[in-house]
Amino acid sequence: MQSIIDDLLAEAITAIANMREIREHENDANSKIKGIYESYLSQFGPMAYQIGIRSTLAVYFNKDGSKSKGDRKYILKLIFNLLKGHTALRFASKQNFDQWINAILIDKDINQAGEDLHDPSSNCNVNPTNTDISQSDEDLLLDASIALKRAIRTFYLTDK
């Protein structure tokens, strides 16, 4: 039986190839990925297990990239683009990255984040007392991070 990680692998390679911001030389399509982004991907899963997926996403979104060697937001953008591009998944299909991450940070159903939070006729599910993302969405986020990490390590896409 093939896992979702295996299903996402080819798309992970494409997502990485299309993310110029994480390359050593942004304008060179053959340039390797900066090693710091492999490290960020490697840290994503363990951090999610230690502090929770929502907190991990908040850290990656809010971490100031100008004070480090890389911007962790690019990892979130890779994960979002990978999952959004996979047609077999019902994941964030009607929204952009900013809508998706803001939905997570305010605890709104991430699959309905394109809907207006303040519109009473909207179908969005806002639950200020629930601090967890659904287990299936958490699994998808972690599987996507593993597929991206496997793509970088297996196909030697880093500068190491």
Domain assignment of residue 15, yes or no: yes
Residue-wise pLDDT for 143-153, tens only, equals 999 999 999 88
Structurally, how many domains does the chain consist of? 1
Domain assignment of residue 39, yes or no: yes
What's the Cα-to-Cα distance from 130 to each of 63, 123, 133, 153, rounded to whole Å?
A: 24, 17, 8, 36
Domain assignment of residue 111, yes or no: no
Domain assignment of residue 26, yes or no: yes
In the predicted model, is pLDDT for residue 28 greater than 80? Answer: no
* 155 or 36: which leads in pLDDT: 36
Domain assignment of residue 86, yes or no: yes
What's the Cα-to-Cα distance from 155 to each of 1, 13, 88, 92, 118, rounded to whole Å?
A: 23, 9, 24, 28, 45
Sort 120 into a burial class: Cβ within 10 Å, 0-12 / 13-18 / 19+: exposed
* 20 or 88: which leads in pLDDT: 20
Domain coverage including residue 34: 4-93+135-154
Residue-wise pLDDT for 114-129, tens only, equals 444 444 443 344 344 4
Q: HSE (CB half, 13 Å, CA atoms) of 130?
A: 13
Domain assignment of residue 65, yes or no: yes
Q: HSE (CB half, 13 Å, CA atoms) of 81?
A: 16
